[in-house]
Amino acid sequence: MARTEATLPGGARLADYLAVGYLALNCSLGEVKEALVKCGVHTRLRRDMPREVLVYFVMAMCLYPRVAYEEVFRLVIEGLRRIYGDQVRDAQVSKAAISQGRARLGWQVMRELFARQAAQRPRTAGDDYAGYRVMSVDGSTLDVPDEKVNAEAFGYAQGGRGEAAYPQIRFVALAECATHALCEVQMGGVCDDSEHALTRQLFPAFPDDMLVLADRLFYGYDMWRDAVATGAKLLWRVKSNLRLPCEVPLADGSYLSTVYASDTDRRHQRNGMRVR
């Protein structure tokens, strides 16, 4: 993707180093090295570009999307050294060397670190309602660089005006409503993977102490049945044409109803699920 600024405006500031330091404090160098070893991509030779620095570089690119790779890399090294000292060694950087290093690093280590961070995140005040952790499921798409491997893996979205300019990733995330922190994410191709299919892959992350919200496009009889089977409590919007007759009025103004897989099941009063 094109960048319009090659350097940090005004040079690196203390706040920039603090931003890198904050990343390092929340995702420690020890954790990064463990993830690199687990994924089999840790630095083996002293002359190699440090893989642990590359990990923080990938994180920092999200903070400085319009700054040249070399500038961000130097900022990351200096910021890490302010915390870890000589544990972080210098490296000769160029755009080509960084690109090659990222290719060798791969994506698995970033996925591993994300999973570790999400699992370690403590619950905070405001997360809960009536004892349940309030979460939300939603999906979106992201453009990725227009490269052959991305096109083959994810594909191009199709519209009324033809094919999109960039390949796109489709993703569905389970997010904490209070903090908007993403706790679990499933990704796929925009052409081959539906939001419903990706959402099903999130179901193992639905414990019984969770209240999960979702928009109306996620509801379907089979989807609802399988989500309920996880033990989590569900609060999902539904389309206005869904038949929900009032069967048992409740004191708070809500009522109980029953959903069925088909009109035939409704007529025979079978395979129904009670909903409020």
| Domain range annotation of the chain | 14-115, 123-242
123-242: which CATH architecture? 2-Layer Sandwich (3.30)
pLDDT recorded at residue 1: 46
pLDDT recorded at residue 70: 87
pLDDT recorded at residue 2: 47
Contact assessment for residue 275 and residue 258, using Cβ atoms and an 8 Å cutoff? yes
Enumerate residue ranges in the chain where pLDDT < 50. Answer: 1-4
Closest by alpha carbon to 167, among 175, 159, 176, 156? 156
pLDDT recorded at residue 10: 57
pTM: 0.82
d(CA 182, CA 235): 19
**Which regions of 36-161 does DSSP assign to beta strands (E)?**
128-129, 132-143, 156-159
pLDDT recorded at residue 218: 96
* Cα 44 → chain centroid: 30
Element (H, E) at 75: helix 69-84
